[in-house]
Amino acid sequence: MELNGSRVLVTGASGGIGDALVGQLCTAGAQVLAVGRDADKLAAAQGRFPHALRALAADLATPAGVDAVAAAARDFGGVDCVVQAAGLNRFGLVEQQDDEAIAAQVALNLVAPMLLTRRLLPLLRERPRALLLFVGSTFGAIGYPGFAPYSATKFGLRGFAEALRRELADGPVRVLYLAPRATRTAMNAGAVVEMNRALGVAMDPPAQVAAAIVQALRDESPERHLGWPERFFARLNRLLPRVVDRALRGQLATIQRFAHSEPEENRP
Ligand X SMILES: NC(=O)c1ccc[n+]([C@@H]2O[C@H](COP(=O)([O-])OP(=O)(O)OC[C@H]3O[C@@H](n4cnc5c(N)ncnc54)[C@H](OP(=O)(O)O)[C@@H]3O)[C@@H](O)[C@H]2O)c1
Bin 73: left if φ > 0, else alpha if -120 < ψ < 50, else beta.
alpha
Is 143 a binder of ligand X (CB under 6 A)? Answer: no
180 near ligand X, judged by CB under 6 A: yes
Q: Tell me if 49 sits within 8 A of 26, measured CB to CB.
A: yes
**Residues with Cβ < 8 Å from 224, sequence gap 6 or more?**
176, 177, 178, 179, 212, 216
Closer residue to ligand X (CB): 182 or 216: 182
The one-letter amino acid code at 91 reads F
**Closer CB to ligand X, residue 129 or residue 204?**
204
| Distances 193 to 121, 242, 251 between C-alpha atoms, Å | 37, 27, 15
Count, residues near ligand X per rule CB under 6 A: 29
Based on the shown chain and the rule CB under 6 A, indicate whether residue 21 belongs to the binding site for ligand X. Answer: no
Catalytic residue among 134, 139, 144, 150: 150
Check binding of 24 to ligand X (CB under 6 A).
no
- The answer to whether 144 is a known catalytic residue is no
Q: Residues 25, 30, 61, 131: which binds ligand X (CB under 6 A)?
A: 61
Stretch that binds ligand X, among 12-20, 75-83, 214-222, 258-266 (CB under 6 A): 12-20
Asked if residue 135 binds ligand X (CB under 6 A), the reply is yes
Degrees to nearest 5, angle at CA 230 with 242 and 254: 70
Give the shortest CB-218-to-ligand X separation in angstroms.
19
In the complex, the smallest distance separating the C-beta of residue 167 from ligand X, rounded to whole angstroms, is: 22
Cα distance between residue 32 and residue 51, in whole Å: 10
Helices (H), ranges, 168-240 = 190-199, 206-219, 230-239
Rounded CA separation 8/117 (Å): 14
Q: Is 38 in the site for ligand X (CB under 6 A)?
A: yes
Residues marked as catalytic: 150
Question: Site residues (CB under 6 A) for ligand X?
Answer: 12-18, 36-38, 41, 59-61, 85-89, 108, 135, 137, 180, 182-183, 185-188
